[in-house]
Amino acid sequence: MRIDTLLAAGSTRSFEFFPPKSDEESATLGATLHDLETLSPSFVSVTYRGGRESRQRTFDLVTDIERGGHLVSMAHLICVGHEREEMREILTNYLDAGVANVMALGGDIPDDRTLVASEFRHAIDLVELVRDVGEFSIGVAAHPLGHPSSPDLVSDRRHLAEKLRLADFAVTQFFFELSDWTNLVDQLGALGVTKPVLPGIMPVTTLSGITRMAQMGAAVPTSLMNRLETANTRGGPSAVRDEGVRAAGELCEQLLDSGAPGLHFYTLNRSTATREIHEALYGPGGVRRP
């Protein structure tokens, strides 16, 4: 099943995972997949950090999911460190395995710079190759607050619009205010691009997470920081977690009410927070609660 077809049919619910690196991580992910499968997500996506070993782990997990026949999967691919023929082979292998959905990303240059050499400059180059190789449904990344490497928001939106014209849909970096998503969609619309932009959701469940998320280019707004700090004063870490999950659920409600084409949850390979938000939003069969 193609994700663009799912989006055309109605609102989607999707979960993102990363491939495990150890037996312990494999056990955690296995339990999470089993738990979240019962929520009947529209699709799941699997990240890829770069390097041959990580690429193989992504391929193995995505194809295992496809063979299971219960979930639609999407494989992440990055440009950094790849030659065109190598990427063409990777894409052909996915097609042969029955994988129809790809997230085409630029990727981060690693600290040791071992993967700097590349025949791709930007994610749009990868999108063009994916289009040439086969009938994939292609997703791309969008940053509501602007990509960290963009010199300004105007050029960020211009490049995103150019990329999204060739792709089928976008998935955003996580964010915390409705206006972050609505402004992004409006700015793309002004550039003539109206393809679906799925909002990425990840609750802040610890006070230390505030700093980590800012480092990832998604600063937590003052209003949410105040809510979390107040919760910590009243009830400690467990209250912070509960308040963060509650705030994420409120954002999801606002997004759906504002016409978002679906919700994409960054699970960090654990099911509890995602399940709590999902159950507050949807009833049996994935129907949104009134």
Low-confidence ranges of the chain (pLDDT < 70): 49-51, 108-118, 284-285
Q: What class, spelled out in words, does domain 3-281 have in CATH? A: alpha beta
What is the DSSP secondary structure assignment for residue 237, as one 8-state letter?
H
Render pLDDT for 150-166 as a digit per residue (tens, 0 to 9).
Answer: 899 999 999 999 999 99
Measured distance CA(157)–CA(243) in Å, rounded: 32
> Would you state the pLDDT for residue 220?
92
Please identify which of the residues 16, 24, 53, 229 carries the catalytic annotation. Answer: 16
Render pLDDT for 59-76 as a digit per residue (tens, 0 to 9).
Answer: 999 999 988 888 999 999
Is residue 16 flagged as an active site residue? yes
Helices (H), the chain: 3-9, 23-37, 52-68, 84-96, 123-133, 153-166, 178-190, 208-215, 222-235, 237-257, 272-281
Rg (CA), the chain: 19
Indicate the pTM of the whole model: 0.93
> Would you state the pLDDT for residue 98?
93
